[in-house]
Chain A
Amino acid sequence: MLMHVINVGHDVLKANDKLAEKNKKRLDKNNVLAINFMGAIGSGKTTLIERTITELGKKYRIAVIAGDVIADMDAGRIAKLGVTTIPVNTGRECHLDAKLVEKALKSIDLKNIDILLMENVGNLICPADYQLGEHLRVVVVSVTEGDDIVLKHPVIFKSTDIAIIHKKDLAEAVFASTEKMEGDVRHLNPDIPVLKTSIHDKESMDQWFSTISSLADERKKE
């Protein structure tokens, strides 16, 4: 018998990132702004996506990829708003990956879409390792998760483009300091926008909507 060592050097996480680049090229070709929403279950991610669709849907054509571990519950909620919604059942997986998104993109008429919202699976750990082809990574945390939530999940905050500290109106009730949370994000990632939002505070929601619409306008179709 001959023994033989084969040097492989194949990186399976980089393989995902390469596929993500391919997805991004496809989105770019169609001038679609793609946003990856990451956040724990109960962070208010789905509600935030719903509000975003209701508000920005007046001006933009929106489609949604909704990742869910078991059921397509969230997808059902979003589909009620009348936008194209592709439920992605991730099975036992704890995150969306580029391959799942590549497949979902086939069911979306990208030529007639301006914004693609991707709702990742509800946790702050696994999605951090995976690029999907998005232009914008958004992490949503709510004050109800405790104000040490940011420091507990540093990797995802290092790799995000926008941080949303959500349900800010409840901060006092749960003894959370939004200042501490914002400070923690800035410590990890000094250059990103940190938005403090609540669906009961119109001004804060408008700030979020205008952040997204100005980005979408940059790639608006001729």
Chain B
Amino acid sequence: MHEYSLACEIMDNVISISETNGAKGVNSITVGVGKLTHVNPDQLTFCLESLVSENIARGAEIILNEIYPEMECQCGFSDSGKRFCTTDDEVIDDIRVFLDVPCPECGEMMQASGGRELIIESIDIEQ
């Protein structure tokens, strides 16, 4: 999997943005991970945590937000993908639940839009 190299790329960006903004330290880094990427959030967090030890971001908290795709149907129906991977109290954590979903209104196969992001949302720095 490619979590490590993505974590490195995120960290390079975090460091350069922090330096540009005259940061003395970084409190937290918030990253959004699309549910339709093959990025494993736990592995990404682990890689990021191992990378914040020896630089300006030392000790920074890693906050990961999962980004759900929006499910859209030709008939006009749309809803967050979150609705379709939760049954009662069970969450189905499988990329497939977004790719093979019949529309609750008309039964046609829906399209997922979004959910392919891996985005550095914000950095909380000390100046």
Contacts and interface: CB of A to CB of B under 8 A. Distances in A.
Interface in A114-129: 125-126, 128-129
A95 interface: yes
B38 A13 contact: no
Contacts of B24: 1
Nearest to A126: B2
B95 A94 contact: no
A7 B38 contact: no
A136 interface: no
B122 A8 contact: yes
Given A2-B127, A154-B100, A13 B1 contact: no
B40 to A, nearest CB: 11
A128 B38 contact: yes
Contacts of A126: 1-2, 38
Given A126-B1, A188-B99, A12 B9 contact: yes
B118 A7 contact: no
Contacts of A13: 6, 34, 37, 116-118
B125 interface: yes
Contacts of A93: 2, 5
A6 B117 contact: no
A14 B38 contact: no
A3 B21 CA distance: 12
Interface string B69-86: 000000000000000000
A10 B122 CA distance: 9
Interface residues of B, number: 34
A1 B126 contact: yes
Contacts of B121: 7-9
Most chain B CB inside 10 Å of its own CB: which residue of A10, A158, A187? A10
Contacts of B106: none
A3 B127 CA distance: 6
Given A3-B126, A154-B96, A94 B1 contact: yes
A8 B116 contact: no
B36 interface: yes
A128 B9 CA distance: 19
A126 B3 CA distance: 10
Interface in B76-123: 95-96, 99-100, 116-123
Interface in A134-151: 151
B27 interface: yes
A8 B4 CA distance: 20
Interface in B1-44: 1-2, 4-6, 9-10, 13, 17, 21, 23-24, 27, 34, 36-39
Q: Which 7 A-B pairs have the closest CB atoms?
A: A11-B119, A2-B127, A8-B120, A154-B99, A13-B118, A10-B120, A1-B126
9 contacts: A1-B24, A3-B124, A4-B23, A6-B124, A10-B13, A92-B4, A129-B2, A154-B99, A188-B99
